[in-house]
Chains A and B, each alone.
Chain A
Amino acid sequence: MSKFLKIFAPAATGAAGMLALAYTAADQFIVDIPAPIREAIAINAAVAEEARAEAEARAAELAMAGLAPSADGGYGLGRGALSEEVAAWDTDVRPDGHGLPVGSGDVFTGEEVFVERCAMCHGDFGEAVGRWPVLAGGHGTLEHEDPVKTIGSYWPYLSTVYDYVKRAMPFGDATSLSDDEVYAITAYLLYVNDLVDDDFELSNENFQDVRLPNEANFIDDDRMTTEIPAFVRPEICMENCKDAVEITMHASVLDVTPEETAAKAAAAAEAAAAAEAAPAAAVEEAATAEVTEAAADAAPSAELIAAGEGVFRQCRSCHQVGEGARNATGPALNGVVGAHIGSVDGFRYSNTFKDANEAGDVWSADRLAEFLADPRGSMAGTKMAFAGLRTQEDIDAIIAYLSTFSR
C-alpha cells in the first residue's frame, strides 16, 4: 500500500477534492511539449493557474446549481440498501474468511456434484476436457516451458475457489449451487489435488486451516523497483546503434494466424489481384441470391429464423450450434430437429434422456415445442436448468432457427 501513496496524490475530500478534480480535467488540455524544459515549466505553471481558476469557477457553479455536496457530504441521491438486498448479492469470500457462510460439504458429496455439474468441462478428476481449465495436478511445473496452473499448483488461496465457484460456476448456470454444494465441490477439488484425504469434510469452521501450497510464491508488483529504473533512459542511441541485424524468428514458421486474414493480406499485396476480384465477387453474389431463393421456398421465413437466433441467445451459454459446435454444459444442437432424443455423441445425458433414446423417441417439432415450453415437466429429471420459453412465438422461432443447422 505504501507504494500507492507515492504514486497517487493522497485522496482529498471536500473543497480540496473538487480542486483535484479540476486539475484532472484541466490536465486533458495540456499539449505535450518536449524539451526545452524551461518552456515546459512555464506552460505547466500557466496551466496550473488556469486549473485553479477553473476549479473555483466550477465550485461556484455547482454551489449555484445546488449540486455541491451538502454539509453531511452528499447529494442525497440513491436510497438505503435493505439487509435482504445486501445479503442477496454479497456472496463474496476473502482469504481471511470474511463472507464465508455457515455450511459444510465432504469429498464424497463433492465428487457426486462435480461429476454431475462440472465434469463435462473439467473432466471427472479436474483434468479438463478440450481447452477448459485444468483444475488438478501440475505440481512442480511452474518453471516448465508450459506451466500447468491449477488450484494445487498455482492458486494462492482456497477462498478464491469458493468465491469463484459460488459466483460463476457451473459455467452457463451461475449461482445455481447451494452453499453446501460449493463446500463439497471445494473439498473434492482439494482431494483431487492430493491436499486432503477422501474422508475430509470442509466447513466454515475448518476453512481457515487449509493452506494452498503455492501461497508463498506470490509477491506484490515490484516493477517500480526491479525493472522500471532500467527502462528510464534520459540518453538513448539514435544513430549507428548497432552494426548488424539478423532475423532470429519468423511468425510464418509457426503459422498460427487465422487463415482468412493471412489470405487477405497476401491477396492485397498483389495489386493485379484487385482487378480479377470483380468477377469472383459477382459469382459469390449470384450464389447468395440462389441460397436466399431456396430458403424462401422452405417453410420457415427468414424473419422467423432471425427471431429464433435472437431467442437462442438465452441458450447459448450452455448450447453450441453451427460450424464447429461442440458439447458444452449442454449438447451441441446441430441437426437436433428430427434427430433421436439423446443421440449426441460424447454427451453425458440424464437418465430420462437415456430412456427416451432407448425407446427410439425422436425430436419432432411438436415434441421439441413441448420440451421447450416446460423442460422439467416434459422430461422429468432433465439436467437442463432452464425454466422454459414463455411464448409460442419464441418456440416456433427457435425451432425454425435450429432447423437451419444439420449435423
Chain B
Amino acid sequence: MDTKYKGTKPSRRSFLTGALAAGGAAVGTTYARAQGAPDPAITETQPWRQFLGDGVDAAPYGMPSEYEADVIRRRVPWLTADAVSSINFTPLHELDGIITPNGLCFERHHGGVAHVDPAEYRLMINGLVEKELVFTMEDLMRFPRENHVYFLECAANSGMEWAGAQLNGCQFTHGMIHNVMYTGVPLRLLLEEAGVKTNGKWLMVEGADAAGMNRSIPIEKALDDCLIAFKMNGEALRPEQGYPVRLVVPGWEGNMWIKWLRRIEVGDEPWHAREETSKYTDLLEGSIARRFTWEMDAKSVITNPSPQAPITHGKGWTVLTGVAWSGRGTIPRVDVTIDGGKNWHQARMSGPSLDKSMHRFYFEFEWDGSPLLLQSRAHDSTGYVQPTKEELRHFRGENSIYHNNGIQTWYVNENGEAENVEIS
C-alpha cells in the first residue's frame, strides 16, 4: 500500500550515524532528547531485576499487568435508567491491532447478564420446519465448526453525537464495538437439520435472559453467514457476551446477535419485536422512521491521538492510528487529514484484512507543534466512502439515534490535548 509521509522520515542513514556515534563515544551528535544526569532506570537495580518473581501458578487465569489498571470498560451513567439495562464502552484508545480482548468487549444488556448453566442449556428450533428440534451443548459441538473474525457494532454507536459533539473520548463516541474471532456452527446447518418449509421466510431468534431478547432475521441472512457461536478468541464466550451460546450476524447491528440464544422460530412474516419497532428504528424528518436497518455502514475513527490519549511527547515524530470497518465487506483504504480536510493522506493499513472485520490503520508524521484537526475516512470494498456527519444529517435529520457512521473530528491543541469537535 502506498504510504505518504509528511515531513522528514527517519532514514536508514540517520540510524547508522547514530549507531556509529554511540559506538565511538563521539561528541557532537544530535539526539532528539538530551540526558543531563544518568538515568536511574538504568543505573539503579530495580527489584524485578534482583529478586525472584511469582511462580507459574500465581495466576492460574492470567490478568493484565497492574500498570494497565486503567484499561477498562467504562459507562456513561446519564445515558440509561439503570445498569441492568445499559451499555458500557470498549477502551479503543488503549488497544492496537484488530482483536479486542475478551474482558474489554463492550457490554449491552437489556435485562442484565444471564448466568446460564451449560448443563441446562437447550436450543430449540420450532415453527415452519419439518422437525421441531431441541439441541444440547453436546449436540451443538458435534456439528462441523468454522472460525471467523467479525466486528460487532451496536446500532447506537456514536448515537449521542447526532446533534453535535458531545463526549470527549473515542471510548465513548465509538466504543460500542468489538472485534473477535468466533468459533461456531453455521446456522444453516441447524436449519437444514430441522428442514425449513418453503414458506419459512423469517426467523425469530430469542435469548434466555430476563429480557427474553428477540429479533426477526430474514432467512437469506440466516442461510448466508450467521453462526451459532460458543467460543470467542479461542475460549468460551464470556457470560456478558452470551455464554454458552450466542448468535453471530456478520456485518449487521449488534442488537441482532442474540446472546444466551435459546430458541429459533421459523415463520412466514417478521415479528416486529420491541427491539425492532420501538427501538432500533431510525426516525427521519417528517415523522418517517426506517425499520430493519440491519447493515452497518463503513466507518472509521482515529483512536490515538484522541481526548483520552493526548500527545504527551511534544512536537516531532508522531504515530497516528485508528480502526475502520464495514458491514458490507473489507476496508481496502483509509484516508487521514491533520488539517481538517484541506489535504488528505492515504493511511498505511496493517494487519489482516478480513470480511466484516475491524481493520487497523496508521499514519506517521512529523508534528510541528501547531494545532491539528484530525479526521479519518474509510473506503469499503463496495466503493462506499464514509460520509461527514453533515452529509448524513442531510438525509436523516438529527433524531435517528442509530447508524451514525459520520466522520469524527479531534482538535489537538499546542499542548497535545485532544477534544471532540465539529468543523465546517
User: What is the interface of chain A, defined by CB distance below 8 A to chain B?
Assistant: 1, 4-5, 8-13, 17, 21, 24-25, 27-28, 30-34, 62, 67, 69, 73-75, 77-81, 85-86, 89-90, 92, 94-96, 98, 121, 130-133, 142-143, 145, 147, 149, 151, 154-157, 159-160, 163-164, 167-168, 171-172, 174-175, 214, 217-223, 226-228, 230-234, 236-252, 254, 256-258, 260-262, 264-266, 268-269, 271, 313, 316-317, 320, 324, 328
Contact = CB atoms under 8 A, between A and B. Distances in A.
Nearest to B136: A78
Contacts of B307: 251, 257, 262, 265
Given A89-B124, A94-B269, A249 B422 contact: yes
Contacts of B315: none
B81 A130 contact: yes
A9 B224 contact: yes
Contacts of A30: 330, 353, 355
Nearest to A252: B419
B134 A79 contact: yes
Contacts of B195: 73-74
Interface of A is mostly: loop
Interface in B316-347: 330-333, 335, 339-346
Given A77-B143, A81-B126, A11 B220 contact: yes
29 contacts: A11-B220, A11-B223, A24-B225, A31-B352, A74-B192, A79-B134, A80-B134, A94-B269, A94-B271, A131-B82, A145-B399, A154-B289, A156-B272, A156-B277, A160-B277, A174-B212, A218-B289, A221-B291, A230-B391, A234-B383, A236-B344, A251-B307, A251-B421, A254-B166, A261-B74, A265-B307, A268-B312, A269-B417, A324-B77
Given A92-B206, A256-B167, A247 B271 contact: no
B166 A256 contact: yes
B212 A167 contact: yes
Contacts of A69: 189, 192
Given A168-B111, A222-B290, A240-B342, A155 B277 contact: yes
A400 B204 CA distance: 43
A79 B123 CA distance: 11
A98 B139 CA distance: 30
B383 A8 contact: no
Contact of A34 (B84, B135, B274, B332): B332
Contact of A245 (B267, B277, B339): B339
Contacts of B420: 250-251
Interface residues of B, number: 136
Contacts of B110: 168
A244 B310 contact: no
A160 B335 contact: no
A121 B262 CA distance: 28
Contact of A143 (B75, B132, B142, B286): B286
